Structure formats: structure tokens, C-alpha cells
Amino acid sequence: MEEKPGLRIDFVTLFPEMVLGVLEHSIPKRAESAGLVSFSAISPRQFTTDVHRTVDDSPYGGGPGMVIKIEPVAAAMAALELEEGTAVVMTDPTGDPFTQARAHELAARSRVVFLCGHYEGFDHRIEELYATHVFSIGDYVLTGGELPALAMADAMIRLLPGALGCAESLEIDSHREGILSAPQYTRPEDFQGHKVPAVLLSGNHAEIRKWRRREALLLTRDRRPDLWSQVQLSKEDRKLLGE
């Protein structure tokens, strides 16, 4: 049987070195070395023809800032030779919230391209012509789309089978079941009077499971009421919270 090739992630960015430098570390690098994922970054500046390598211009209708021009981005996209089914993700503060479910959706693709904006963003025709998804990582504005793209890519990569040293780590991740994960502890048992909860030292796995579930529910209730409003509590969950 022919082995399925790894996920390919491309970045269209004015700062290829910035993006690829981050991916040279930790889980993304290990996943790349294992053949689970490959990366490339291409700059629209490569496809400009003027002496100044101009990629932006002032917005029609007036206003502050500069807008990334469509021609160099279109040329960069053509150079990527995208296959059918490729996800093209534009990072933008106006996009849909990026979630763990979105990460799973993208990780299942064979190829994902991130369009990383800068200045006042892209000419809107770039979104209309190329983007299959427009995502935001939060209700705030960053200098460029590189950091959001890297955050999304990292969330995807760790979902690839074999990417993590311990696959069970995915089972305790926050947002896996729509709730946050319970607090974690390690040695020493007592640090300046701050002690590890006794149940975690008990060896009673059933009680540990209950404690972790209860703490996860309480943390979600207290910190993320938006998630809590959607949680479907089981009979056991209600009993744990009642305790």
C-alpha cells in the first residue's frame, strides 16, 4: 500500500524567514523530521517588477495605512500550483474564531495555505478569489498575520498521528470536549507550603478521574462562561458538582 504523504503547509508572507524560523523548534520540527508535515514560505515581493519591490498601495476611497496589492499575491498563489481540496486560510481580525474543531478540520487536509496579511490587510478581492477560510485567533489586532498563522499551524500539527511523543496527551487537552483541562502537578509534593492535592497522591485512579473531571468543569464555569453555557452535563457531572 502506498504511504500517504505528510501534510503540506505553505505560508504566503512578507516575512518567510520569521515563519520558517519558528517552525525549526519543538513539535513542528520533530513532525517535519518524521515526515508528517512539510513547510514552505513564499513572499509576494518575489513577484513584483518595480525597483522598490512594492507590494502595497494606498486604499481607494482614502483613509490611513496601506493595503496589500492583489497582483503579487495572485502571482504567488499561481506559483504554489494548488491542488483541488487545498484549504486556503486567510488570517484576519474579521474572521471566524479559530477553534480546536477548526484545527481538526484543517489537520485532516493534505495541504493548507496560510495567507498572512500586513499593514491594513489585503485587497478584499484576494479573499474573494482565493480564501476558503477566514479565521481570527482573538478579538484583538496584531501587526501581521504571521503569528496567528503559526498558532493555527501548531494547533494542527500536534493533532497529526505520531506528532506527539505521547498520543494520550491529546486526551487531556483543553477544548477536547468543549471544556478546559484540569490543573496538573508534578514534584515536589510540597513547595513552600503549597501542596499537591492529596487525591493525586492516593493511587486511586477512579477518584483521580473524578477529581480531574470536577476541576475541569469548575474551571470552565469560572473562566469561560461562553463555553460553560454549551456544556451538556451528564448525571455524573451534576453529582460531582453537587459534592
∠ Cα 20 27 109 (to 5°): 75
* pLDDT averages per 10-residue partition of the chain, 243 residues: 73 98 98 98 96 96 95 98 97 95 97 95 97 97 96 98 74 73 95 97 97 96 95 96 88
Domain parsing of the chain, residue ranges? 7-157, 174-242
Label residue 100 left, alpha or beta by phi (over 0 means left) and psi (-120 to 50 means alpha): alpha
Residue 3 has what pLDDT?
A: 47
Active site (catalytic) residues: 93, 120, 158, 173
Regarding the domain delimited by 174-242, which CATH topology (the fold level of the hierarchy) does it fall under?
Trp Operon Repressor; Chain A (1.10.1270)
Q: Which pLDDT score is estimated for 28?
A: 98
Which residue is associated with the grid cell 514552505? Answer: 40
pLDDT of residue 243: 76
Asked whether 203 and 227 are in contact (CB, 8 A), the reply is no
User: 145 with 118: CB under 8 angstroms?
Assistant: yes
Alpha-carbon gap, residue 29 to 38, rounded angstroms: 9
What pLDDT sits at residue 167?
55
Residue 173 contacts residue 181 (beta carbons within 8 Å)? yes
CA distance 233 to 227: 12
Class of the CATH-defined domain 7-157: alpha beta
